[in-house]
Amino acid sequence: MTQRPATWALIPVKARGAGKSRLAAALDPEERARLVDAMLAHVVLAAEGAVSRTLLLGPERGACALERVEDAGGGLNAALDAAFAALCGRSDAPARLVVLAADLPQVSVQDIARLARLPAGTLGIAPDRHGTGTNALSLPLPEAAGFRFHYGVHSAARHREVAESLGLNAVTITGPGLEKDIDEPADLADAQHMFSLVT
């Protein structure tokens, strides 16, 4: 039996207590930290059911005893560019890397499997609920080795442009689990099952 090419997941994380400042009107700092921890644990569990290896990009995060890639600094895009280049250069580099946001409380194993099982040479983009941001990317290797990250305003369109500049077929992968990230207080309804929230 031919062994299936390896697919890895990479999840960028911040230090505990950092980030999600836009939720401050609805949650105090400890509630925000607990929510971030719960969402990360959920995303990791879903990823581990769909890929062969899961890594964190950023600082050590307590209960998540996963292999880590150091954050090279310079912001999210620079850190991802450096981490991606390092992973591409490894002798055991995967055939595909799925980059996942850590704040997807409804993402499922099946959602991530859809990203993991894309054909060779096809790059997948999972946009946010607004259709403009990027909540996940599925990068085929070595074809996407020159990819550069553009998280921020209109990142989904910018990531598609980068894929096309590399001659890659870029497909959009949608679904509630991939679309529903948690950024604003209005989004918290999608994370109610994580723990008791007062919104």
pLDDT in tens, 14-48: 877 677 878 888 888 888 888 888 999 999 999 99
**Cβ atoms of residues 19 and 36 within 8 Å:** yes
Reported pTM: 0.91
Could you state, in order of their start, the residue ranges of all structural domains in the chain? Answer: 7-15+22-191
Check if CATH label 3.10.20.30 holds for domain 7-15+22-191: no
Average pLDDT over residues 54-83: 85
Helix (H, G, I), strand (E, B) or coil at 171: strand
Residue type, 19: G
pLDDT at 199 over 70: no
Of 85-89, 113-117, 186-190, give the lowest mean pLDDT range: 186-190
Strands of the sheet with 134-140, listed across from one edge: 67-69, 53-57, 7-12, 96-100, 134-140, 122-127, 169-172
Instruction: Give the pLDDT band (50/70/90) at residue 187.
Output: confident
What is the C-alpha to C-alpha distance for residues 131 and 82, in angstroms, rounded to an integer?
26
Amino acid at 108: S
User: What is the average pLDDT score of the chain?
Assistant: 89
The arithmetic mean of pLDDT across residues 43-56, rounded, is 95
